[in-house]
Amino acid sequence: MIQLTQRAAEHVKSMLSKRGHGIGLRLGAHKAGCTGFMYDFDYADEINDDDLAFDSQDVKVVVSKELMEQLDGCEIDYVTTNALNKGFEIRNPNAKEMCGCGESFHV
């Protein structure tokens, strides 16, 4: 299961409202970065046959079944460190190692 904090859910709802369509947040990961994988965030417009979907804080979170081993149990927050630095932050219980900048992870 993948969870959103209230702040993350409010941000996703706001962005979907501004966009005018979509069903939720799509979370993904691809091989990159200094430790192996980097997270991908996108709008979810549909749920495909190879996806799983979770409801969290009244927001649908969609993830590919093949990525569940790396992403199961994640909690997604939306943080603001200053006026220029804001974005999603993931707490991933499966990550054995994170790079120094926090952008990539290894499972």
Mean pLDDT of 9-15: 97
Tokens of 7: 């702040």
CATH number of 3-101: 2.60.300.12
Q: pTM higher than 0.75, yes or no?
A: yes
Yes or no: say if 4 and 12 are a contact pair by the CB < 8 Å rule: yes
Report which of 34, 105, 33, 32 is spatially closest to residue 73, judged by C-alpha positions: 105
Tokens of 37: 């994988």
Domain ranges of the chain: 3-101
| Of the candidate ranges 62-71, 77-86, 89-98, the one whose mean pLDDT is the lowest | 89-98
* Average pLDDT across the chain, whole number: 86
pLDDT tens figures, 27-74: 998 776 555 777 889 999 999 999 999 999 999 999 999 999 889 999
**pLDDT at residue 99 tops 80:** no
